[in-house]
Structure 1
Amino acid sequence: MTSLCSKLMRGALVTLTLVAAHARAESLVLANYGGAWATLLKTVCTDPFMKETGINVTQASTGDSLAQIRVQQTTGNVLWDISPTEGASLPVAQDNKWLLPIAWKIVDPDNKLAPIARQPYAIGAIAYTTALAYRTDKVPPGKKFNGWNDFWDTKNFPGPRSLRDSPMENLEFALIADGVPVNRVYEALKAPGGIDRAFRKLDKIKPAITVWWTTGQQPVQLLATGDAYYVTAFNGRISQLQRENVPVSIVWNGGSQTVSYYSIQKGAQNPKAAMQFMKFCWNDPQRLAQIARGLPYSGFNADMYKYLSADEAKALPTASVNAPLQFTFDANFWAAHQKELFARWQAWRLK
């Protein structure tokens, strides 16, 4: 009898272990920045993926993905299968060997994605732009606001302004305002004296900055209330204001186009399912078109434009009329110089 009970208990334990393993194998945790993006992903990607594959997808919200990836890798307690690694996060995580290589035979077997989206350790999900936005009803009569030169021109374009509280992109914007072509902005920034040149230019606009914003919603609120006339903001937020009939316009000229990358952490519970999801969500042209309609951020499978109208397409960062006007944010530059330039920025802000 005792032997029989032992066998039954062992069998039950084996069954529970197999069930637990199966549950882990059939689940996936996707980290992102929450809000409207998470809601859109649920509609366009996660719910349809679960229905088609039977793999459960849970979304986890993060405000600082790199810090949390570092903790998960340091402790060995990896909670996320797919992690956002945009900006300087990707080169830092890659250099620290915290990520798994992407199996492009699974994620992009037909080589449909643009090269910038096919990184060894990340997929480019969408592109977004930090652009100039302005209140059209605050521009002086007879004048046209065209870009960074005008942002710095407080005489002809008076009024309160707002920039992000960060050296990232502001140094680039300052150099463009100082006459550097958009396609040579990092060449100028890396040149001897380039950083000093950018800070000297920022000295000139600093007194006109009434708010140094820290969250993406701040410049949108400032425009909506009229507390700022000229701001930098994410292009999707500007489009949101336009849909609400706030008199605002976007300037693509001199914008900073950033690729929103997603990676798979080393030690992830279900890397194969993670790669299946990447293909399903960010390499399907019809889904990318749906994403673009929900938020004007563009994917990297060009076939998405077959499913978008001309008006829908022209609102996207990678549209043919907009892309040449912008520079691509250089994450490698900022990964290499972030510590020193953020320290200098804080000292400059406190002057």
Structure 2
Amino acid sequence: MPARSLLAAAAMAATVLASISAFASPNDLTIVTRDQSLQSAMQSAYVQPFTAVTGVPVQQENWAGGIDTLRSRVKATDDPWDLVLVDADELSAGCGEGLFEKLDWSAIGGKDHYAPQAVSDCGLGGVIVTIVLAWDKDKLPIAATWSDFWDVAKYPGKRGLRKGVRGNLEIALMADGVAPGDVYKTLSTTDGQDRAFRKLDQLKPYIQWWSTESEAAHILASGDVLMTSAPSGPIAVMARQEHKSFGLQFAASLYELQSWVIMKGSPSLRAAQQFLYFTGMPAVETRLLQQSGDAGLAKGLNDALPPDLAATSPGNPANLGTGLKLDVGFWHDNLAKLQQRFDAWQGH
């Protein structure tokens, strides 16, 4: 995004926000996100320019997720949370329980300003998080697929997977020939679950497990693995910043939406609305994409991106259309049982 466009967008935001600045809360605005790398990117892409325009101080915190945490935080009188980035399961449960404010869309740009999947009663889509197949193109000059990922005879080397069941069963089934659109229908049966674990059995001796985004990027950059599942953002950013030749396969990727919610009774409601309005501008979301690799959901975000950035944007329709949306309902119902089976499988 050219600096001139960003400055013009910031100036427009300043004009609009100035008209409501008199109503801004005197309290600091506290925003809460899930991981350190996204927090750092938001600090420079969102927080610093927002505070420069509005004068509202912003505090950032991290959390590990979970509806129980949200239930306890909404009752907290000290160190209140204002804006929290939640997953789809937390959004549905928390909205139903009255833990979040119902959004006043007229105060944050209007529903038509965002992609349809970003809009709900209590949530505004903040980022699309996509798990892709990533590999070192210097060592493997092909357009790798999950089938290639399993083919250790043809492409020898370690493989990286996230340490956990969610996502890995879907990947295993797609590697075994199940079309993305049929994955959850297959996985909802005992035979389908057995099939996924049998497929993982084939790869088990070659797997190096990762737990965090930074780990996934590290094991690929260090050469510990030839290929890995990984969040697309850190891989894309590392490739740009460190001039690495990494491939990202968005076909048969797994993606999910994380949404902003305003906690019920937030003392900084007006400032939270200002923040959502400001950061929902395509020019501002472009800054986050450049710095974290994570895509927002404002309409027009992908329209003016340079080709290299568009190619790795999780929100690019060409990338999003070939992926599989993570079924949070399935995992809400089955995570405990399947995680227990996965832990037992991994331990043997």
Question: TM-score scaled by structure 1?
Answer: 0.84
Contact 2:235 2:246 in 1 (8 A): yes
Tell me by how many angstroms 1:264 deviates: 1.6
Q: Which residue of 2 aligns with 1:226?
A: 223
- Structure 2 counterpart of 1:134: 135
**Alignment length, in residue pairs?**
325
The CA distance in 2 between the partners of 1:278 and 1:191, in whole Å, is 41
State the one-letter code of the partner of 1:134.
W
**Is this contact kept in 1: 2:127–2:259, CA < 8 A?**
yes
Residues 1:335 and 1:341: Cα distance change in structure 2 (over 3 Å):
same
* 2:289 is aligned with 1:292: yes
> How far is the alpha carbon of 1:246 from its aligned partner?
2.9
* Cα distance, 1:97 vs structure 2: 3.6
> Against the structure 1 CA distance between its residues 335 and 271, is the aligned structure 2 distance closer, same or farther, given a 3 Å change threshold?
farther
- 1:133 is displaced (CA, Å) by 0.8
Partner of 2:234: 237
Task: Give the direction of change, closer, same or farther, for the CA distance of 1:293–1:186 in structure 2 (3 Å limit).
Answer: same
Deviates more, 1:181-190 or 1:230-239: 181-190
The partner residue of 1:272 within 245, 256, 270 is 270
CA distance 1:27–1:303, shift in 2 (3 Å): same
Equivalent position of 2:54 in the other structure: 53
For 2:147 and 2:166, locate their aligned partners in 1 and report how far apart those are by CA, in whole Å: 19
Query: What is aligned with 2:5?
Result: none
Give the Cα separation in 2 of the matches to 1:75 and 1:337.
31
Aligned partners of 2:225, 2:148: CA distance in 1, in Å? 15
Aligned position for 1:62: 63
2:167 to 162, 166, 169: 169
Q: Distance in 2 between matches of 1:344 and 1:93?
A: 28
Distance 1:246 1:200 in 2: 34
Is the Cα contact below 8 Å between 2:128 and 2:257 reproduced in 1?
Answer: yes
Corresponding position of 2:3: none
User: Which moved further from structure 2: 67-76 or 143-152?
Assistant: 67-76
1:183 to 171, 181, 184: 181
Question: Which residue does 1:339 correspond to in 2?
Answer: 336
Specify whether residues 40 and 166 from structure 1 end up closer, same or farther in structure 2 by C-alpha distance, changes over 3 A only: same
The unaligned stretches of length 5 or more in structure 1 are 1-21
Which residue number corresponds to residue 325 of structure 2? 328
How big is the shift at 1:110?
Answer: 5.3
Q: How far, CA to CA, are the matches of 2:181 and 2:78 in structure 1?
A: 42
CA contact under 8 A between 1:89 and 1:335: conserved in structure 2? no
Q: What amino acid is aligned across from residue 202 of structure 1 in structure 2?
A: L
**Inter-CA distance 94–197: structure 2 relative to 1 (3 Å threshold):** farther
**Residue type of the alignment partner of 2:125:** G
Q: Give the Cα separation in 2 of the matches to 1:226 and 1:48.
A: 37
Q: CA deviation at 1:146?
A: 2.4
1:253 and 1:260 mapped to 2: Cα distance?
21
Deviation at 1:292, TM superposition (A): 1.7
CA separation of 1:98 and 1:348: change in aligned 2, threshold 3 A: farther
Relative distance call for 1:43 and 1:235 in structure 2 (3 A) is: same
Which residue number in structure 1 is paired with residue 116 of structure 2?
Answer: 115
Deviation at 1:165, TM superposition (A): 0.7
Deviation digits for residues 50-86 of structure 1, max 9, x if unmatched?
2333332211233446553243246565621011212
In 2, Cα distance between the equivalents of 1:271 and 1:343?
41
- 131 and 212 in structure 1: CA distance in 2 versus 1, 3 angstrom threshold: same
Distance 1:233 1:247 in 2: 15
Q: 1:75 to 1:342 in 2, by over 3 A?
A: farther
Selected match of 1:308 from 267, 281, 305 = 305
Q: State the distance in 2 between where 1:135 and 1:334 align.
A: 31
Report if aligned partners of 1:236, 1:295 keep a CA contact under 8 Å in 2. yes
- Give the percent of matched residue pairs that are identical in Structure 1 and Structure 2: 28
Instruction: Name the CA distance, whole Å, in 2 between partners of 1:89 and 1:349.
Output: 28
SS in 2 for 1:168: coil
- Aligned partners of 2:83 and 2:68: how far apart in 1? 15
TM-score between both structures, scaled by the size of structure 2: 0.85
SS in structure 2 at match of 1:333: helix
What residue is the counterpart of 2:17 in the other structure? none
How far off its partner does 1:111 sit?
1.1
Hey, what's the Cα distance between the residues in 2 that align with 1:54 and 1:90? 29
1:233-259 Cα shifts (integer Å, max 9, x gaps): 111111133221333211112111121
Higher Cα Rg, which structure = 1
Identify the residue that residue 262 of structure 1 maps to in structure 2. 260
